[in-house]
Structures are given as C-alpha cells and as structure tokens.
Amino acid sequence: MSEAEQVPASAPEAAAVLDALNATDSNGTEALNATAKFVATPEGTALAYGSLVFMALLPIFFGALRSVRCSKSKNSADMPETITSRDAARFPIIASCTLFGLYLFFKVTQCSPWRSPLMSRIFPDSFPNKQYQLLFTQGSGESKEEIVNYEFDTKNLVCLVISSVVGVWYLLKKHWIANNLFGLAFALNGVELLHLNNVSTGCILLGGLFVYDVFWVFGTNVMVTVAKSFEAPIKLVFPQDLLEKGLEASNFAMLGLGDIVIPGIFIALLLRFDVSLKKNSRTYFYSSFLAYIFGLGLTIFVMHTFKHAQPALLYLVPACVGFPVIVALFNGELTEMFR
C-alpha cells in the first residue's frame, strides 16, 4: 500500500513498542519489488481500512472495561502498572532511543490472546479442572530457597497449548492473521494493565508523544525505514488485495500498536473516572471513544487527500483530550477531572 494511503504512523506503545507504519509510494500502491506494484481497488482499500479501525476499537473498548476490574483486584498478580507524571515526561525520550535500535522482548505467556481469566468463561462447568504447582528450590533444610513457585490448572495448560500453536504458526509462516492475534492481545493487555494515575499525567504523556510522532514522521524517514525492516507483531495489518487473493494476500495496510495503546490507556482512565463519579453513566468514556474514531478517520481522510503519510497522534491527541475536556466544561466537572 502507498505512503499516501498508509494507515497512520504510530506512536510507541507504553511497553516500549516501536512505532511501526507501512512504507508506501505516492500512487496508492505498495512496492513489492523494483518492478512490480499492486494498485489497490477502492473496495479493497475500504475493506482494509474499515477492518483496521474495527480491530483498533476492540482492545480499547474491552481493555478499558477490564482496566476497571483490574484496578479493583486484590490479587497482586493482576495489579496494574501505574504511569506517573515523571514516567510520562520521560517516555518520549525512551521511545526515541527505542526507535533507533532497541528490539522487542515479547512475553508470550503473559500477552497470549487466550489468557485464562478470559478463557475460563468459555470452558463448560463440567470441564475437569485440576490444580498443579511447579516448585523449584535451591539448597536444603533451613537454607532452602524458592526459585520458582507457580500455580496453574488444566485450563491454563489448554490455553498454553493454543497460544503455543499460534506462536509456532507465526514464527514459521509470519501469517498476517497470527500477527493480528498477537497484536490484539498485546494491545488489550496494554490498555488493561497500564494505568495513568490522573488526567494531568495523561495529558503530559499524550502531549509528549504528539510532538514525538509529528517529528519522526514529518522530520525524518526513520519511522518508515524501521517499519520496512522490522518484522514483528507490533502492528495490526490487513490486506488490500484480500478480495483478489484471499488469505494469501500480501499487500497490507498497517496500524501501529502505539496508535491503539497510547490513546487507549487515556480512554480507560476516563472510564475509571466515570466509575468514580458514581453517576451510572459513561459520559467521558463514550465521548473519548467517539473522539478516537473521529481522530483515526480524520487521519485516513487527510492521508488520502494530501497523498502523504500522517502521524496519527497529530489528530488523535487533540480529539481524545479535547472532546472530554469540552464535556467536563459543559458539566462543570473540569476541576474534578484534573484533580
């Protein structure tokens, strides 16, 4: 797909994910090699972009809902990582270093699409679920020291087998469906487990990455170069030639996970703010969620109009911050929102 028609350039996800965008040319086509280019049909382009927007909304919506439950959990294993104002201020600097060469370390067992809390609802009540414990110790007697003490059950083992199959499938074939399964899982976990401590911190984080994204897309070609040379499930992809080639299609529109996770953790924060108000409404969550749809749609529109790659956060940040602030001003809750 083309630079003019690529899905927006991404900011990094909060777990140090690289910005990843598809590299393209000016004719709405992706350069497959020096001589052959694929011209996307309007139907294929619409299907690809629509699918990417839909896939982006899934982890934000469900991750935000799960972040509320996660914030109330008393289980230490489910406790979220809290991003402070200092973390938010340093994040663009860390992301810039990451863009220049730090590679990803994916925790497959923690970011599997089939995490046990989700899959446990699928297993029938009659499923024989046994408990196990994996224990490694060092030494003996009073000097014995625990090295590993992990408890799991049969459902965990089933989930591990399923996720391992997908992992091997991706490693061997690099298929776009396997890529998306991992990408959606990473994004869902990011939105669920990375918590901003207040709206001010969210504004600092989004503001810093707003400048970061604009600079690396308009000021240099580093982001496109990294995207072309770095192959990992750090982005969602969807083929524009799916209608012509089916599941073996290879001309992809792409959306970096940073464009999902970074706005997503801010939207999840606003949902928790709605819950804290105890008004049985989700005004700020829905306003920011709709703002995200508007911002992503505007990014795609501008790309097609000016035939040039666009940094998604240039449009997502003002929308996701501005819409809820306007709603708070209208409701007289702006001070409470930033408290």
Please state, in angstroms and as integers, the Cα–Cα distance from residue 230 to each residue in 225, 308, 335, following that order.
8, 21, 44
**Is the Cβ–Cβ distance between 265 and 18 less than 8 Å?**
no
For residue 259, indicate whether it is catalytic. yes
**Is the Cβ–Cβ distance between 321 and 206 less than 8 Å?**
yes
For residue 274, indicate whether it is catalytic. no
* Strand boundaries in 211-327, DSSP class E: 235-239, 252-256
From CA 82, how far away is CA 99, in angstroms rounded?
23
**Is the Cβ–Cβ distance between 301 and 292 less than 8 Å?**
no
Given 19, 213, 241, 274, the catalytic residue: 213
Which pair of tokens denotes residue 198? 């207040």
**Is the Cβ–Cβ distance between 22 and 236 less than 8 Å?**
no
From CA 67, how far away is CA 2, in angstroms rounded?
36
Given 19, 241, 259, 274, the catalytic residue: 259
Which pair of tokens denotes residue 77? 């294993």
In the chain the first and final C-alpha atoms are separated, in Å, by 44
Residues with active-site annotation: 213, 259
